[in-house]
Structure 1
Amino acid sequence: MLGVQLYSVRDDLSRDRDATLRRIADIGFGAVEPYDPLNDPAGFRAVADDLGLTVWSTHAPVLGERRDDILDAAGVLGLDAVIVPAVAPEQWADADGVARIADQLNDTAARAADRGLRIGYHNHWWELESRIDGRSALEALADKLAPEVILEVDVYWSTVGGEVTADLLGRLGDRVRYLHVKDGPAVRDAPMTAVGAGTVPITDILAAAPTAYRVVELDECATDMFDALAESHRYLTGLSA
């Protein structure tokens, strides 16, 4: 089963949530990952259930002051994990900063566990560009995380950050529960493409994390977003055919 991070269709979602989710389901995706769990979680879950869409996880700023509200909403959505979408680049500059991030994630994970939820972290490029003792700051973070904290590796941004992403996934191992699968020219400020139409070595990457959930996300796209999502779905399902 393939999922979609709904940030990809954020403008359509804000105009007509239910119709947008229906288009996602009609393409053939079986799961979604919201980015705003506080926006009518009960209504969102009802529509997702009606369309046969699983809510795998959500992005949310759960390290902030609305932590308990977010965890409550996650419970209503019936999802598995709350993923921190980013921590600012300057906090990854050294080992002390990475240790502080790990402490926040571990503390929040302990609170989430009481509700049957897991906490995870999603990378951009800066966690890979920053080096701690010769390794990426993301790997330094993984060393300090409690066992229950997971990672959602964004395979595009890790590539932009200078990593051979398949090798990175091998080093991170089972900590990686989700992949953000995206493609394009692998440069920072260019629009993305449908998965399979860019330069990211998608097949090698997927082979390196065979049990991780695949979540398609296209932050920006030069073509119609729904066309790109449909093309991505055809490509990814074709790999497993």
Structure 2
Amino acid sequence: MPLKSLSLQLYSVRHELDKDVPGTLARIADIGYRQVECSHKLYRNTPGLAGMLHDAGLIVPTFTSPLTDVNVADTGPIDHDAVFAAAVEVGAGTVVDTFIPEQFWSSPDDVARIAEGLNRAAVTANGYGLRVGYHNHWWELERRWNGSTALELLVDALRPEVVMEIDAYWVAVGGEDVLALLDRLGERVRFLHLKDGPISRNNLEQQPAGKGSLPIAEIIEATPQVEAGAVEFDAYAGDIFEGIAAAYAYLQPRTAS
């Protein structure tokens, strides 16, 4: 079963976007991408972003932003209405919280607080016709209580409409069997982040899908419910456009559209 669609997480090319947003979007489209995952931060800092995306022929199924007050000291107060209105403007259907730092996952009470924040955000999002999601790193898999990972405790405490965007690489770095976790989470997993490498925390060792240790083909086959896979690099030792092109070349033949 192929991926239904393929995106690029624009965080991968953040340094290029800092210099030239429309030019970077055009290069992404020239590689072949027709979808991107973009952030509220980029939207806020780039007047006219929705038009630039449209001009490049790029759609935005997923939009990212902090959604809870857990790390509010780092993000500042969250204006959910502004975030969700921006998501609607760029045409997104799901807003994903992609980063709640490791220090905020120290106990089951922490997990409950995170779930409460995401649940509140989900109620507001519903009024905009949107869903809320959460994206993992490695620490949500490393932390365990009573035999369950912190990520699975979170899922158990979330409203049923809140979905997961699973970063398969970070699952493996966190010490979990990726295929087993995906099986346990089942229909909750609606989006995937797909990068590869030697399964390490060193971001500069990350590689395009198909050039590392992850069973990418099996991951895709095991998740027919996934609406979009997204290429992402936290960092890349080579030319980032070559990296995202190599990932596209591997994943596009495994994508239905």
Fold-level match, TM-score > 0.5? yes
1:130-171: CA deviation from partner (whole Å, max 9, x where unpaired): 002112110111111101111110111111001111111111
Q: Secondary structure at the match of 1:163?
A: coil
2:72 maps to what in 1? none
* Residue 229 of structure 1 pairs with residue 234 of structure 2: no
CA spacing shift, 1:60–1:146, aligned 2, 3 Å? same
| Count of aligned residue pairs for this structure pair | 241
5+ residue gaps in structure 1?
A: none
* Residue 196 of structure 1 pairs with residue 210 of structure 2: yes
2:26 maps to what in 1? 22
2:160 & 2:218 partners in 1: Cα distance? 26
Q: Secondary structure at the match of 1:177?
A: strand
2:74 maps to what in 1? none
> What is the TM-score of this pair, normalised by structure 1?
0.95
5+ residue gaps in structure 2?
A: 70-76
Superposition deviation, residue 190 in structure 1: 4.4
After TM superposition, list the pairs within 5 Å mapping 1:151-170 onto structure 2: 151-170=164-183
2:46 & 2:131 partners in 1: Cα distance? 18
2:46 & 2:67 partners in 1: Cα distance? 15
Give the letter aligned to residue 253 of structure 2. G
Bigger shift: residues 62-71 or 225-234: 62-71
Match for 1:71 among 81, 84, 94? Answer: 84
Superposition deviation, residue 39 in structure 1: 2.3
The 8 Å contact of residues 67 and 117 in structure 2, kept in 1 or not, is answered as no
Indicate the RMSD between aligned Cα atoms, in angstroms: 1.6
In percent, how many aligned pairs have the same letter? 44
1:150-195: CA deviation from partner (whole Å, max 9, x where unpaired): 1110111111001111111111111111101111111002421111
Superposition deviation, residue 68 in structure 1: 2.5
The 8 Å contact of residues 68 and 114 in structure 2, kept in 1 or not, is answered as no
* Residue 56 of structure 1 pairs with residue 70 of structure 2: no
Bigger shift: residues 64-73 or 114-123: 64-73
Superposition deviation, residue 237 in structure 1: 2.0
